[in-house]
Amino acid sequence: MVELGGLSRASFYRFHEDSRERPDADMDLRDVIQRIALEWPCYGRPRITAELRRRGWVVNPKRVYRLMREDNLLCVRKRMFVVTTDFNHGRKVYPNLARQMELTDIDQLWVADIT
C-alpha cells in the first residue's frame, strides 16, 4: 500500500496515527486538579502536586504544571510593594545639583553613589 501511494513508510504511519482520535488520558487527573484548585484557590503547582500525592496519585510536578497551564489554572500573585527608603530621618538632605545643569559635551558631569 505504501508503494502504491508513493509514500514513505514513516509518513504512512505518522498519518495513520494522527488520523484516529485518542481520548485524553489525563482527564481524570485534570478533574482532580480542578477540584483541588477550586477547593484551595491560593494553591500553586507545588502544593497541588503535594495534595495529589496525598490523595494517591503518582504525578510529576512538570506534568501538573503543564495541565494547569493548559486549563488556565495558574495563579499570578501580586507582590506586596515594600518601601525601602526612609524619608522620615533627621539628617540633612542635599539637593541634586545636576538637575539644573545643561550638559553639552562629554565629561561635564560625573556621578558617584556610596550607598
Q: What is the DSSP string of 41-109?
A: TT--HHHHHHHHHHTT----HHHHHHHHHHTT----PPPPP--------SSPPPP-GGGG----STTS-
- Write the pLDDT tens digit of every residue in 65-115: 999 999 999 877 778 888 888 888 888 888 888 888 899 999 999 988 887
Q: Is 13 part of any domain?
A: no
Q: Is 112 part of any domain?
A: no
pTM of the predicted protein model: 0.51
**Residue range of the domain that includes 54:** 24-77
Q: Is 109 part of any domain?
A: no
Q: Is 96 part of any domain?
A: no
Q: Is 102 part of any domain?
A: no
Q: Is 2 part of any domain?
A: no
Q: Is 83 part of any domain?
A: no
